[in-house]
């Protein structure tokens, strides 16, 4: 009797283990793949680009203050030179430093060239007017920001 009980328990245990394994495998194999969510355009969720060109937050706040006072910047004085800050900067650069591209807030080569002309005339920039915001452009931009009263 003992032998038949042990055999029955062993068979039952094996059957339960096998059934559980098959159920899990069957569920995994039969489960539909989760539906892929539609891709969201990066333009829809991307934050506004911040391009401080080497300025600290405190320096960028001073630049934003001047842009707000004179060039139509309506955003927060937060030290983050984003699209709206650069649109105001482009308005100034168009007025005085030969910027002739769109007022779009994008810090592209034409924006940088006009900024470099301004920095060369007033803030010690000695590099080429090449539209590349390298170390010399950034150093002169910092000098400009440092001369703005707090």
Does the pTM of the predicted model rise above 0.95? Answer: no
Of residues 140 and 47, more confidently modeled: 140
The predicted structure's pLDDT at residue 150: 82
**In this model, does residue 79 exceed pLDDT 50?**
yes
pLDDT in tens, 93-131: 999 999 999 999 999 999 999 999 999 999 999 999 999
Q: Where are the alpha helices (DSSP H) in 36-98?
A: 42-45, 57-70, 83-96
3-state secondary structure of 126: coil
Q: Which of 57, 50, 54, 64 shows the shortest CA–CA distance to 148?
A: 64
Task: State the number of CA atoms in the 13 A half-sphere of 25 facing the CB.
Answer: 6
Residue 58's pLDDT is what? 96
Residue 31 makes CB contacts below 8 A (sequence gap 6+) with none
> What's the rounded Cα separation, in Å, for the pair 22 and 8?
21
Give 10's pLDDT tier (boundaries 50, 70, 90): very low
Look at residue 26 and give its three-state secondary structure: helix
């Amino acid at each position: 009797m003992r032998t038949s009980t042990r055999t029955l328990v062993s068979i039952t245990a094996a059957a339960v283990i096998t059934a559980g394994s098959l159920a899990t495998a069957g569920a995994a194999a039969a489960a539909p793949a989760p539906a892929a969510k539609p891709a969201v355009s990066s333009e829809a969720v991307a934050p506004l680009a911040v391009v401080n060109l080497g300025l600290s937050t405190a320096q960028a706040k001073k630049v934003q203050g001047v842009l707000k006072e004179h060039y139509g910047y309506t955003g927060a004085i937060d030290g983050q030179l984003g699209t709206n800050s650069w649109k105001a900067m482009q308005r100034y650069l168009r007025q005085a430093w030969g910027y002739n591209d769109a007022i779009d807030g994008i810090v592209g080569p034409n924006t940088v060239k006009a900024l470099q002309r301004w920095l060369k005339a007033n803030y010690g920039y000695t590099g080429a007017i090449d539209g590349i915001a390298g170390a010399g452009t950034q150093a002169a931009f910092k000098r400009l920001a440092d001369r703005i009263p707090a």
